[in-house]
């Protein structure tokens, strides 16, 4: 097996018993770091310290992860204009924060006979939010509800924020 010293230097390729003896002579442990490599790679180090460093790396990696949540907006085919604008404004906030938005359109009773109204409403929502979002999942029907999934588009958001900044800096 290939052996790496405690300082990170390559010591060479040794039989397993000799590598274990070398680690014991230094009062350290022999840790297998790459079992699938040809030949397997081991490191001479303090196992407790090694585990501590691995946990620190995992914690740091988790800290840098981006968690994307899906926010839902509920609509009906007969949603009034002002209510629709309020919901679109909220959806815009969610997308600008980096969240995905699922727009649910629920049909009740006889509204199912006029699904084209729902498709038209979802098409309007996607065009209104099209300046900052992209359609990740086109309108789909599931039971008595239709939905569309919108995801933030980084390039469009940059352009949108630039346009807002320019509008704010223009004197009127």
Ordered structural domains, the chain, with CATH: 2-59 (3.10.20.80), 70-169 (3.30.110.10)
Each residue's pLDDT expressed in tens, for the chain with a length of 172 residues: 899 988 888 989 999 999 999 999 989 999 998 889 888 999 999 999 989 999 999 998 888 877 778 999 999 988 899 999 999 999 999 999 889 999 999 999 888 888 888 889 999 999 999 889 999 988 888 889 999 999 998 888 888 888 888 888 877 6
Please choose, from the candidates 163, 133, 132, 137, the residue with its C-alpha nearest in 3D space to the C-alpha of residue 148. 137
What pLDDT is attached to residue 172?
61
Rounded Cα–Cα distance for residues 27 and 21 (Å):
10
Reported pTM: 0.61
What pLDDT is attached to residue 69?
87
Q: What is the dihedral of CA 48, 54, 56, 57, to 10 degrees?
A: 160
- The contacts of residue 121 (CB under 8 Å, 6+ apart) are 75, 77, 79, 84, 105
End-to-end CA, the chain: 74
């Amino acid at each position: 097996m290939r052996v790496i010293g405690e300082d990170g230097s390559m010591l060479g390729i040794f039989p397993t018993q000799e590598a274990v003896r070398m680690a014991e002579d230094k009062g350290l442990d022999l840790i297998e770091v790459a079992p699938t490599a040809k030949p397997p790679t081991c490191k001479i180090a303090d196992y407790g310290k090694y585990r501590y460093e691995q946990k620190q790396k995992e914690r740091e990696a988790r800290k840098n992860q981006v968690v994307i949540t899906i926010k839902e907006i509920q609509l009906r085919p007969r949603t009034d204009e002002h209510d629709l604008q309020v919901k679109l404004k909220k959806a815009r906030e969610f997308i600008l924060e980096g969240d995905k938005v699922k727009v649910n359109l629920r049909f009740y009773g006889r509204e199912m006979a006029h699904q084209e109204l729902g498709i038209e409403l979802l098409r309007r929502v996607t065009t209104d939010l099209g300046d900052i979002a992209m359609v990740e999942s086109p309108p789909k029907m599931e039971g008595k509800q239709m939905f569309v999934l919108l995801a933030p588009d980084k390039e469009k958001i940059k352009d949108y924020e630039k346009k807002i900044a320019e509008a704010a800096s223009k004197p009127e």
